[in-house]
Amino acid sequence: MEGSSILENLQNECATPVDLLNSVANSMIAHMKAGLNVDGARDLKMLLSYVNSLPPKQETGLYYALDIGGTNCRVLRVKLDGKDIDIKKISREIPAELKTGTSKAFFGFIASGLWELVNWEFEEFGIPKDTKREIGFTFSFPVEQTSLNKGRLIEWTKEFNIPDAVGEDVVACLVEAMDEQELNMFSVTALINDTVGTLAGARYKDGDVKVAVILGTGTNACYIERTDAIPKLNSQGDQGHVTENTIINTEWGGFSEGLHLTEFDLGTDLGKQTFEKMISGKYLGVIVSRILLRMAESGEHYTPSFLSTRQLNEMQQDDSDDLEIVGSILKKTFEVETTLNMRKTAVKVVDTIVKRGARLAGAGIVGILEKMEQDSEGLIYGKRSVVAIDGSLYEQYPQYKLYLNEAVKEMLGPEKFENVVIEQFHDASGVGAALLADTSSNVAPDS
């Protein structure tokens, strides 16, 4: 790997000074307002969640959720006693072939995991298998909802491509798969985006949560919005939102205005999900790998391989004198022997891309906070305001977390930042979906 000039150019192109971050945040605000005004107006879809109520802190009972992300399918059993949360989780990785297969195969796989939970409850507690259960369905792809438990798939993201599911009601697809497997003991009562589930689950633990962000394989954000700040509600004659506030799913992964793409980003950007491809775990390793392969002498002789986000983290955490872990990862991935200088360069590349991604994610968070504050002065900065974050990238990558928090603090300044708390909530999306499956005792989401 030569590449000192490539590295220097990369660091310049990927720099994220506060002025640039503020510009990104301001563009985000403009796109949020446009999306609230008219569907499809700008980059952000600003989808209605039909969640007009959130579980109160004193909620007790037994709840169920089916949580579909970019990597795993999880079935959750959530038991609440008003204080603690007891979670039984069954997790399975979604096979690669199902991500580009048929709708029937995909939803059939999802539904099959429910039988494992039913059998476990019978064996563990003697609960009859035909006991009726309400379940919340977390689906982390863009869906246009028409009610709390109905929604049409707009498009696939995170490298999924199942054409015959696009335009279909994903709840109906799941129910059909459940019926085929005689899982009629389950009733899908809520269709929830993973960010909305995170907000609901985190809000159960902390009443000051106002924004939720997913930073994992993919990324997205949602927040509590005043219904009178959503002009398209009136234009659509929507009668499903009668409360003062509701939750908006931004689908911010599609944001692109003001984002400077390098030649290495263009290899992963096909004009869709630009923001997601710059900040989320699915793509950071791909971008780094493209850069390292370009730096490699006679790089065309190496079979293209891609580093995982976990490997990026391990490389940044390597504090040995000879960067032994870095060398091992590069050899395993690219089948190349490296000098110490090459390993140092590789770490700098990783740091450059990860830092850019984390700081841009921070800019997105500030954009949402600023929009909420502009609408209601004092709502965010005048009192404690919590941004709930869930997802493997933020949870498992300390340097990413550090860079994101630094960016938010730099942008807001000490006075505004004083009341803003960025907090990690593990498994919040699944817990929230389980809670929202039973809406009978929920309360309106106040700000």
103 is catalytic: no
Provide the token pair at 361.
């994610």
Contacts (Cβ under 8 Å, ≥6 apart) of 9 = none
Question: In terms of DSSP H, where are the helices of 131-169?
Answer: none
Contacts (Cβ under 8 Å, ≥6 apart) of 242 = 52
140 is catalytic: yes
Under 8 Å between Cβ of 278 and 357: yes
Catalytic residue chosen out of the listed positions 194, 265, 390, 438: 194
Under 8 Å between Cβ of 62 and 77: yes
Q: Is the dihedral of CA 328, 310, 111, 146 positive or negative?
A: negative
Catalytic residue chosen out of the listed positions 74, 343, 356, 359: 74
* Residues in the chain, overall count: 447
194 is catalytic: yes
Query: In this structure, what DSSP letter does residue 280 have?
Result: S
Provide the token pair at 36.
């609230």
Identity at 352, one-letter amino acid code: T
The half-sphere exposure of 169 on its side-chain side, counting CA atoms within 13 A, is 14
Under 8 Å between Cβ of 191 and 139: yes
Under 8 Å between Cβ of 72 and 144: no
Instruction: Say how far apart CA 395 and CA 413 lie, in whole Å.
Output: 25
Instruction: Say how far apart CA 178 and CA 200 lie, in whole Å.
Output: 26
Helix-, strand-, coil-residue percentages of the chain, each rounded to 5: 50, 20, 35
Q: Which of 302, 300, 295 is nearest to 331 (CA)?
A: 302
Angle at which helix 281-295 crosses helix 340-375, to 10 degrees, equals 140
Catalytic residue chosen out of the listed positions 103, 140, 280, 392: 140
Instruction: Say how far apart CA 416 and CA 411 lie, in whole Å.
Output: 9
* Stretch (H or E) spanning 428: helix 428-436
Identity at 145, one-letter amino acid code: Q
Query: In this structure, what DSSP letter does residue 184 have?
Result: T
Under 8 Å between Cβ of 434 and 64: yes
Instruction: Say how far apart CA 220 and CA 2 lie, in whole Å.
Output: 37
The residues assigned a catalytic role are: 74, 140, 194
